[in-house]
Amino acid sequence: MTERRWGLTKPTEADIARGGFSTPWDAPFIPPFPFRFRNCEILTVFYRTDPAAAAFLAPPPVRATGDVVAIHLYKMNDTDWIGPYHECNVMFGAEVAGRAGAYSPYLFLHSDGGVSHGREIHGQPKKYANPSLEFRGDLIVGTVERNGIDVVTVTTPYKQRQVDPAEMRRHFDFGTNLNLKAIDHIDGRPAIRQITSRKLTDVAVRECWVGPATVELRPNAQAPVYRLPVVEPIEAFFWKADFTLVSGEVIHDYLTKA
């Protein structure tokens, strides 16, 4: 007999064994796919770094493919399950198993559900921090603060030249996000060791602007973005979009290979 209380249905063992299950079962923390992001405001800044630094941070068999880093500062205004929040994704061009994309060594956001979902499902290296995206007169300013230190500060002029959104892909395909997913069993044995891949779908870019960029990184051992040093700022894009996050795929499984 199905048990119901407080508007909830008690799960069966089969329910628990199915995909998309999250704890606590009566107030699940992890959104099921798909979920939609609406009215997002994004500042994407590209800069040139030391290619040896990117190569060092890429876990084998992932291979860094250049010397360009992208910092995305997102103002998520309306997200299913999670609500409004800010996020920062730091990535560089990479490839694995013939698949080109972008590897993320660092991600920061101030949503506990977003941190948990990114780490548990995608294997993204998300940490709690305080990203922000602000308009200060004629300047767009993106920052990431953690432990009282502004570890990232990026700027660009406010909406000076409108461009085709396709121009953002000229450095590398950041739409395909590669991540290292590492989760252990409770007894310490490795449970999951994978390179995962995810893409956003139903992307609708409503406007896109390009301009010069500045990038400042400050050291922090818990948010070590400084390990991808700034050699030369390239350009910045400010854009607005809607998109959907869907399930991804396993590109490389270390345990199966072993």
- Give the active site residues: 126
DSSP3 helix / strand / coil % (the chain, rounded to 5): 15, 55, 30
CA atoms of 89 and 157, how far apart (whole Å)? 21
CB 233 within 8 A of CB 69: no
Q: Taking a C-beta distance cutoff of 8 angstroms, is the pair 94, 104 a contact?
A: no
- Please, are residues 127 and 108 in contact by the beta-carbon 8 Å criterion? yes
**Who's near 225: CB < 8 A, 6+ residues apart?**
90, 106, 144, 151, 152, 217
Q: Output the six-digit token pair for 109.
A: 């956001």
CA distance 233 to 239: 18
- Is residue 112 helix, strand or coil? helix
Count Cβ atoms below 10 Å from residue 3 Cβ, excluding itself: 9
Residue 123 is encoded by which pair of tokens?
A: 């294997």
Give which of 91, 43, 90, 48 is closest to 236, Cα–Cα: 43
